[in-house]
Amino acid sequence: MSRFRHLLGWDFRNLLRFPMLELLVGIAVYLSVLTGYGGGPSESPYSIVRHIVWHFQSEVVSLYVPTLFAAVVFASVGVAREIEAGYVKVVLSNPVRRRDLFLAKFAGCFLSTLGILTCAVFATMFLQNWSVSKYIVSFPAMILEVFVLLVLQTFFVCCVATAVAVFSKNTAISFIGSFGILYLPDYMSRLAGVKIPFVPPESTELFSLYLKSDLVFWRQYDLTTLLGATVVPVLIAVSLLLMAFMYFTRRYDVV
Amino acid sequence: MVVEARGLVKNFGRVQALKGLDLEVGRGVFGFVGPNGAGKTTTVKILLGLMRASGGVARVFGLDVWKESFVIRKRTGVLHEKPRFPSWVTGLDFLEYVCRLKGLKQPWKTALDELKFFGLAEAVDRRIGGYSAGMVQRLGLAQAFVGNPELVFLDEPTANLDPLGRAEFLEMVKQRCRDDGVSVMISTHILSELERVCDSVAILYDGVALEQGYLSDLVEKYSEGVYVIESSDNMRMLGGLEKLGCVERVWVEGEMIKVKVGDRVEFEKGVVDLAHDLGLGVRRFEPVLSSLEDVYKKVLGGRVVE
């Protein structure tokens, strides 16, 4: 466990040494989620916060591009580049289990991406709604809903990016490949007017609509759609990650 | 035996890097020589569990190199060829990280002591990106030897060192072997240096070990059967030697007689008897030994043109 902790700590140190990246992602989040809400004169604090949170739940979908950008960069730098440059060879020459290194790499990518996005989203939520921000903190359960959406979307993106990084073992291929796999299907489907419901960002949108279940919208969707929006992307992500894990721990020849 | 390999095979697609390598490495300093592409680096990586062999068996400290590689790596250190370290951290930070991965106590102090031993005291707080090639090599040596492993693999360890640095490195290796009882497996092309430190050698070519054994035995085996003799009366000795049946050629070089023989055992007995019969004193009588480079060339024969 202590080795895993050291590996993870080292990974954080490596990934978070680019302040410009964090700043860019933060700015992208802020610009994506523009809303200022002061609340009506007779509105209750619950109603005000509900409106703000609904908006942010919806906007998690539009955060898909900043999320995948951050995850792809972290996976390419933290995994593919380290394999390509030979740093992984140096680490694995020490008493380090491959599974610990793999999990530390994934955890570093996931937690770094999630950390930056969470900080940016909640900073935006408070800064853009400063006059009513005192009410937001009173309803942590609603804020948790936004966080859950962020976690699901980030988990999917990081799993795909990490898997591509491990299989490609090349920084450029990892970056371009991950971006292509994660962005192009969504872009093409929107051009074609078709929705792919079982992967982000569509699955995130469906789940956010479900969370607004006290509105009439949710009745348009049944349990199957809900499961498709939540379980299927997680299964896809975990399967890809598991394949990469099996390859890295059993097949990968360190050259 | 520290390292044992039997019939080791490694395929990279259609390329067969190892074709049934047999290897036995005992304690001390072991030299691993061969031309480029012979399979030296591949062997080291298999022994460390960084690659899985396609066939055969390999053990380090009696442990299977793939199934128990974690345990093996707790007891070994390695300096890879052309080592690469993260350029954005200091040498001390990186070595402290390695100490933590190895589970060493007082990682910061251990790292600092190791860097000082390898002549990097002035550069502990400098980023690795600012190190010279020689300094990177020294850092690699430090991370290989930190924690006093039982066995250290050194793959082309003197590649980036100047002649003085190479001599200093050899002294450090000998000192660690002597003081800490570390066994070392060195892969290098610089045979003259290897000759000064190694106890035994294996010569690889095209994925197999053509020859291996103690250096002294190999040198004697591949010596050309030439002896040098210096006696109290070289002319009389010369006359007597020419009559010995096992002598192929005799000639004089300065103050010494050189003799090329066929049967060494018969010759050595014959010289003793000859000196006794002629009443001559023998001041010097020893074989002219080949160097490791001579052995290497003879073993490889016409296989490689480098």
Q: Does B88 touch chain A (CB under 8 A)?
A: yes
Q: Does A89 touch chain B (CB under 8 A)?
A: yes
Nearest to A60 by CA among A168, A156, A161, A153: A153
A90/B84 touch (CB, cutoff 8 Å), yes or no: yes
B70/A3 touch (CB, cutoff 8 Å), yes or no: no
Q: Does A98 touch chain B (CB under 8 A)?
A: no
Q: Does A86 touch chain B (CB under 8 A)?
A: yes
Would you say A32 and A62 are in contact if contact means Cβ atoms under 8 Å apart? yes
Q: What is the pLDDT of residue B303?
A: 66
Write the secondary structure of B182-193 as one string of H (helix), E (strand) and C (coil).
Answer: CEEEEECCCHHH
The 8-class DSSP code of residue A17 comes to T
With the C-alpha atoms ordered B110, B111, B112, B117, is the resulting torsion angle positive or negative?
positive
Q: Does B83 touch chain A (CB under 8 A)?
A: yes
B80/A86 touch (CB, cutoff 8 Å), yes or no: yes
Q: For chain B, what percent of residues have pLDDT higher than 70?
A: 98
Would you say A226 and A206 are in contact if contact means Cβ atoms under 8 Å apart? yes
Q: What is the pLDDT of residue B306?
A: 45
Which residues in chain B are closer than 8 Å to A253, comparing Cβ atoms?
A: 12, 45, 50-52
Name the E strands within chain B. Answer: 3-12, 15-25, 29-33, 55-60, 63-64, 76-79, 151-155, 183-187, 200-205, 208-214, 226-231, 247-253, 256-261, 282-287
**Closest CA–CA distance from residue B74 to any residue of chain A (Å):** 5
Residues across chain A: 255
0.90 surpassed by complex ipTM: no
Task: Give the tokens for residue A15.
Answer: 């990934």
Radius of gyration of chain A (CA): 20
Q: pTM of the predicted model, to two decimals?
A: 0.85
Helix (H, G, I), strand (E, B) or coil at B25: strand
B50/A2 touch (CB, cutoff 8 Å), yes or no: no
Residues of chain B with pLDDT under 70: 302-306
Q: Does A42 touch chain B (CB under 8 A)?
A: no
How does pLDDT run across A30-86, given as a tens digit for each residue? 777 655 555 555 667 777 777 777 777 777 777 888 888 889 999 999 999 999 999
Rounded Cα gap, residues B238 and B100, in angstroms: 68
**Closest CA–CA distance from residue B257 to any residue of chain A (Å):** 54
**Closest CA–CA distance from residue A104 to any residue of chain B (Å):** 13
For residue A220, what pLDDT band results from cuts at 50, 70 and 90? low
Angle (nearest 5°) at CA A107 between A104 and A110: 150
Q: Does A97 touch chain B (CB under 8 A)?
A: yes
Q: For chain A, what percent of residues have pLDDT higher than 90?
A: 36
B70/A95 touch (CB, cutoff 8 Å), yes or no: yes
Strand order in the sheet with B183-187: B76-79, B151-155, B183-187, B29-33, B200-205, B208-214
Q: Which long-range contacts (CB under 8 A, 24 or more apart) does B42-46 make?
A: B42/B10, B42/B17, B42/B18, B43/B5, B43/B8, B43/B18, B43/B204, B44/B78, B44/B153, B44/B155, B44/B185, B44/B187, B45/A253, B45/A254, B45/A255, B46/B8, B46/B10, B46/B18
